[in-house]
């Protein structure tokens, strides 16, 4: 499984820290992990048996398990992901799930027929991994299945002392005594997968898969074209003048050379991401784009986990737009990142719900963005 020149993708930005909010945003609407589905096929319908979704994130796999009749213990240390999960649990399934906000080290793992750890175990620090793995193995009920991923020692993040990486021979030690149903190594390919099972019909099982599908979204290269749909007529978003101005700006940037071309790509990626939104979201996103770029011309548009975002000279995202459709929310969101200077005493807002564009909203957005870059 591990080894090779693995990229550390999975949607976590490679900027020295795990950015789970962005990861969850990029995970919106994803399909359940194929390895989890394979484990479910192996075990049949849940019939109320217990599954643990360890490091469940925004909970897509927990929801899949519930839909397949499993009782689920969903564990994650990040309240933001758990909130997204809670919001999506159908009332009819609520009794079957326990959502536990706890670190791997703290979580009590009861006996379970299925333990899923989708791209989460490598985030356990090395000093805690042995204990965690021992508890996972103890929790696997006879005949149970583990499905999850590890990162290899050639992963691009392999130097990170806070994460755990395994060489092939170390994986074999971890799996000793388990029946292997699937064990795959991924290099640059997006999926590595496996399911392993303890020897004998009564033994627990274990499976190991690869990494998430792809890096979420990056700026698309190519000539600066406008969004495919005419946003002005469809959404009341960009005016013809604004479109022309953006095209000129992209042309200017490209003429500046390599650095400018990168910025033009960023701008194009933002326009593309806006063009893909549902009409109501697109209308808001277009006004946000126009307002942000006018209030803060020094910020460079680029996509951040597929969302329109605007970065400072250090490349740090200051402000981004999350469309309502991304998480089927009631509202879109204007979000500010750490680089935004909105500090106000010991507590201040960094996220704003956007429902409908108006002169008042425009003024507020412009003020916030101006303050953010001050
Ligand atoms: C890459 S995400 C994977 C989420 C989800 N399982 C998926 O497949 O998309 C890793 C998850 O592990 C959680 N996590 C990382 N370290 C953790 C720890 N020490 N204890 C509990 N959860 C942790 C993170 O909060 C994050 O939600």
Mutation test residue for ligand 1: of 32, 76, 84, 119, the one with most atoms within 8 Å of CB: 76
Structure confidence at residue 311 (pLDDT): 95
How far does the centroid of ligand 1 lie from the alpha carbon of residue 276, in Å? 28
CATH 3.90.1150.200 residue ranges of the chain are: 242-372
What is the residue whose two structure tokens read 């000539």? 223
Structure confidence at residue 369 (pLDDT): 97
- As beta bridge partners, residue 72 has 51, 97
What contacts 13, CB < 8 A, 6 or more positions away? 19, 22, 305
How far does the centroid of ligand 1 lie from the alpha carbon of residue 123, in Å? 7
Structure confidence at residue 133 (pLDDT): 96
Structure confidence at residue 247 (pLDDT): 73
Give the number of the atom of ligand 1 that is nearest the alpha carbon of residue 11: 1
Strand order of the β-sheet with 332-336 is 300-304, 307-311, 317-322, 332-336, 351-354
How far does the centroid of ligand 1 lie from the alpha carbon of residue 220, in Å? 28
Mutation test residue for ligand 1: of 52, 77, 121, the one with most atoms within 8 Å of CB: 77
pLDDT < 70 stretches in the chain: 1-18, 186-237
Residue closest by Cα to atom 25 of ligand 1: 78
Residue 142 CB neighbour total at 10 angstroms = 13
**332 backbone dihedrals φ, ψ, rounded to 5°:** -85, 170
Q: Are 20 and 80 in contact (CB under 8 A)?
A: yes
CATH 3.40.50.150 residue ranges of the chain are: 5-227
CB of 9 closer than 6 A to ligand 1?
Answer: no
- State both tokens at 231: 């946003």
Q: Are 318 and 368 in contact (CB under 8 A)?
A: no
What contacts 341, CB < 8 A, 6 or more positions away? 371, 372, 373, 374
As a CATH number, domain 5-227 is 3.40.50.150
Residue closest by Cα to atom 13 of ligand 1: 55
Structure confidence at residue 236 (pLDDT): 53
Structure confidence at residue 196 (pLDDT): 31
Residue closest by Cα to atom 4 of ligand 1: 57
Give the number of the atom of ligand 1 that is nearest the alpha carbon of residue 103: 20
Structure confidence at residue 231 (pLDDT): 27
Structure confidence at residue 205 (pLDDT): 36
Q: Are 336 and 342 in contact (CB under 8 A)?
A: yes
Q: What's the pLDDT tens digit per position in 109-133?
A: 999 999 999 999 999 999 999 999 9
Structure confidence at residue 128 (pLDDT): 95
How far does the centroid of ligand 1 lie from the alpha carbon of residue 92, in Å? 26
CB of 216 closer than 6 A to ligand 1?
Answer: no
Measure Cα distances from 347 to 181, 335, 344 in Å. Answer: 50, 16, 6
CB of 104 closer than 6 A to ligand 1?
Answer: yes
How far does the centroid of ligand 1 lie from the alpha carbon of residue 96, in Å? 21
Q: Which CATH number among 1.10.630.10, 3.30.499.10, 3.90.1150.200, 3.40.50.720 corresponds to the domain 242-372?
A: 3.90.1150.200
How far does the centroid of ligand 1 lie from the alpha carbon of residue 212, in Å? 12
Structure confidence at residue 177 (pLDDT): 86
The Cα 67–Cα 93 span in angstroms is 8
pTM over 0.75: no
How far does the centroid of ligand 1 lie from the alpha carbon of residue 224, in Å? 37
Structure confidence at residue 237 (pLDDT): 65
- State both tokens at 35: 């390895």
How far does the centroid of ligand 1 lie from the alpha carbon of residue 341, in Å? 29
Q: What is the 3-state secondary structure (H, E, C) of the chain?
A: CCCCCCCCCCCCCCCCCCCHHHHHHHHCCCCCCHHHHHHHHHHCCCCCCEEEEECCCCCHHHHHHHHCCCEEEEEECCHHHHHHHHHHCCHHHHHHEEEEECCCCCCCCCCEEEEEECCCHHHCCHHHHHHHHHHHHHHEEEEEEEEEECEECCCCCCCCCCCCEECHHHHHHHCCCCEEEEECCCCCCCCCCCCEECCCCCCCEEEEECCCCCCCCCCCCCCCCCCCCCHHHHHCCCCHHHHHHHHHHHHHHHHCCHHHHHHHHHHHHHHHHHHCCCHHHHHHHHHHHHHHHHHCCCCEEEEECCEEEEECCCCCEEEEEECHHHCCCCCEEEEECCCCCCCCCCCCCCEEEECCCCHHHHHHHHHHHHHHCC
Pair type for strands 196-197 and 179-183: antiparallel
CB of 78 closer than 6 A to ligand 1?
Answer: yes
């Amino acid at each position: 499984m591990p080894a090779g020149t693995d990229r550390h993708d999975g949607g976590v930005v490679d900027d020295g820290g795990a950015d789970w909010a962005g990861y969850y945003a990029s995970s919106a609407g994803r399909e359940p992990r194929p390895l989890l589905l394979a484990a479910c096929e192996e075990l049949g319908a849940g019939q109320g048996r217990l599954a643990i979704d360890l490091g469940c994130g925004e909970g897509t796999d927990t929801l899949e398990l519930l839909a397949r009749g499993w009782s689920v213990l969903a564990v994650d240390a990040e309240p933001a992901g758990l909130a997204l999960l809670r919001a999506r649990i159908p009332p009819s399934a609520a009794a079957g799930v326990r959502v536990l906000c706890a670190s791997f080290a703290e979580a009590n793992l009861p006996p379970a027929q299925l333990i899923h750890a989708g791209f989460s175990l490598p985030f356990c620090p090395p000093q805690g991994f042995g204990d965690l793995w021992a508890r996972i193995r103890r929790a696997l009920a006879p005949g149970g299945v583990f499905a999850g991923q590890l990162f290899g020692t050639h992963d691009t993040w392999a130097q990170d002392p806070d994460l755990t990486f395994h060489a092939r021979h170390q994986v074999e030690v971890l799996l000793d005594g388990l029946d292997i149903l699937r064990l795959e190594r991924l290099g640059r390919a997006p999926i590595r997968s496996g399911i392993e099972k303890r020897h004998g019909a009564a033994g627990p099982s274990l499976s190991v898969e690869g990494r998430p599908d792809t890096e979420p979204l990056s700026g698309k290269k190519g000539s600066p074209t406008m969004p495919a749909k005419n946003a002005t007529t469809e959404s009341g978003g960009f005016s013809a003048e604004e479109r022309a101005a953006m095209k000129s700006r992209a042309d200017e940037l490209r003429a500046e050379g390599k650095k400018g071309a990168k910025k033009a790509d960023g701008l194009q990626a933002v326009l593309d991401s806006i063009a893909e939104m549902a009409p109501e979201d697109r209308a808001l996103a277009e006004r946000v784009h126009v307002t942000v770029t006018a209030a803060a011309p020094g910020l460079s548009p680029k996509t951040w986990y597929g969302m329109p975002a605007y970065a400072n000279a250090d490349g740090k995202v200051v402000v981004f737009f999350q469309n309502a459709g991304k998480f089927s929310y009631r509202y879109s969101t204007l979000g500010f990142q750490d680089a935004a200077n909105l500090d106000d005493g010991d507590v201040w807002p960094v996220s704003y719900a956007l429902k409908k564009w108006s002169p008042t909203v425009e003024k507020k957005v412009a003020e916030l963005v101006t303050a953010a870059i001050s």
